[in-house]
Amino acid sequence: MSLTFLLLVMIAVLVTIGIITKKLDILSYGEPDKNGNQKPVGVKWKPVTFILLTVLAALFQPMNYEVISVGHKGLLINLLGDKRGASNTEEVSGVVFYNKYTQEIQEVPLDQRHIEYPESIIVAKGGFPCPIKPSFNYSVKESTAADMFTNLRSTYKKGGLEAIQEGWLNNAIIGAINDVANRHSIDYLFNNRETYEAEILSEVNKRIGKWFMVSQLKTNIQPPKAIRQSIEDKATADADAIKAEAQARVAQADAQRKIQLAKGDSASVVIRAQAEAKAISLKQQEITQTYVEYQRVLKWDGVMPTTVLGSGSNTLLNVK
């Protein structure tokens, strides 16, 4: 809401109150009729002219006001200064009254913003093109916001910080990433990504650290297609080698198990054979003629044989 609008509203309210209370006499009346009533026959130009002049003064008065938002840096720019305001920038806050014809107010956001740039191509040492999709957080330094506006004024006035981050800041970030990538081989970039991105952050702060604070910078760099394919092939080969090695260890363990089982079976056979041989030996040592006779007696069923033949013996007949 501008100061001009507030003045016009105030004039309208005062005129309305004056007419209602008849304190503002802007109408001229004719002779009263037989009933004593008077009808307006015209206007009084002096009060009307005064009101019109007041309205025109409100419309063309030079002053305006601005309320600086929380989390923003207010800048009062003198449009009539040297270099069209470049050397006359004053930091302000709260409610600020200014001449709208010779001054202007700019509010620079100080909050942290997250940026994700679309994919672009950088070139590593040796001429290898690599796609990147940078992302980072940044904010304007409060202490140098006025200097930033002075140097990037034309870009800022086109679209604020959004115009800067899509133009000047984009070029600075991509340029820093590309310059650091040109110092290192393709293997270094992917084998030392954390160190590489720390180098980029350092280079970025050298270039834009005067006005901006950058953090959480990630390049999201990807290897070239040919190298990516070779990496995938190598990973597949390594996985196959690990699988084959594991299978070999399993086969070796299985073979060793079978050998141990075979050794155990053969040992048990030997032990049984040795036990049987020992038993036979012990039995042979224990077998005597007396022992044989004893065993024969144990097995005899008490029935005499009907025929007994022996060497040099006659035939005996048992007749009942």
Whether 250 maps to a domain, the answer reads no
Q: Are residues 195 and 145 in the same domain?
A: yes
- Residues 31 and 255: their CA atoms lie apart, in Å, by 134
Q: Are residues 97 and 147 in the same domain?
A: no
Q: Are residues 212 and 181 in the same domain?
A: yes
Whether 305 maps to a domain, the answer reads no
Q: Given this model, what pLDDT does residue 285 score?
A: 63
Q: Given this model, what pLDDT does residue 82 score?
A: 60
Q: Are residues 105 and 53 in the same domain?
A: no
Q: Are residues 213 and 122 in the same domain?
A: yes
**200 and 177 Cβ atoms separated by less than 8 Å:** yes
- Residues 237 and 49: their CA atoms lie apart, in Å, by 95
Question: Highest-confidence range of 40-49, 159-168, 285-294, by mean pLDDT?
Answer: 159-168
Whether 229 maps to a domain, the answer reads no
What confidence category does residue 255 fall into, taking pLDDT thresholds of 50, 70 and 90? confident
Q: Are residues 141 and 104 in the same domain?
A: no
Q: Given this model, what pLDDT does residue 83 score?
A: 53
Q: pLDDT tens-digit profile of 50-91?
A: 888 988 988 888 888 899 999 899 999 888 766 544 557 888
Q: Are residues 82 and 159 in the same domain?
A: no
Q: pLDDT tens-digit profile of 113-159?
A: 999 999 988 888 878 888 889 999 999 999 999 999 988 988 998 88
The average pLDDT across 45-50 equals 82
Q: Given this model, what pLDDT does residue 251 score?
A: 82
**149 and 106 Cβ atoms separated by less than 8 Å:** yes
Q: Are residues 131 and 174 in the same domain?
A: yes
Instruction: Return the minimum-mean-pLDDT range out of 26-30, 111-115, 150-154, 232-236.
Output: 26-30
Whether 187 maps to a domain, the answer reads yes
* CATH code for the domain in which residue 165 is found: 3.30.479.30
Q: Given this model, what pLDDT does residue 320 score?
A: 46
Boundary (domain end) residue, out of 43, 78, 109: 109
- Residues 204 and 201: their CA atoms lie apart, in Å, by 5
Q: Does the pLDDT at position 308 exceed 60?
A: no
Boundary (domain end) residue, out of 198, 223, 248: 223
- Residues 63 and 50: their CA atoms lie apart, in Å, by 21
Q: Are residues 119 and 80 in the same domain?
A: no
Whether 99 maps to a domain, the answer reads yes
The number of distinct structural domains making up the chain is 3
Q: Are residues 56 and 74 in the same domain?
A: no
Instruction: Return the minimum-mean-pLDDT range out of 47-51, 126-130, 273-277, 282-286.
Output: 282-286
Whether 280 maps to a domain, the answer reads no
Note down the domain range covering 46.
1-61
Q: What value does the mean pLDDT of the chain take?
A: 81
Q: pLDDT tens-digit profile of 151-202?
A: 898 899 888 999 999 999 999 999 999 999 888 888 888 888 888 889 999 9
Q: To the nearest whole percent, how much of the chain has pLDDT over 90?
A: 22
Residue 208's alpha-carbon distances to 165, 169, 173, 176, 296, in angstroms, are 12, 8, 9, 10, 119
- Residues 145 and 209: their CA atoms lie apart, in Å, by 12
Residue 254's alpha-carbon distances to 149, 245, 249, in angstroms, are 77, 14, 8
Whether 16 maps to a domain, the answer reads yes
Q: Are residues 140 and 201 in the same domain?
A: yes
Token pair of 269 as six digits: 């056979």
Q: Are residues 105 and 33 in the same domain?
A: no
According to DSSP, residue 21 is labeled T
Boundary (domain end) residue, out of 109, 139, 168: 109
Whether 274 maps to a domain, the answer reads no
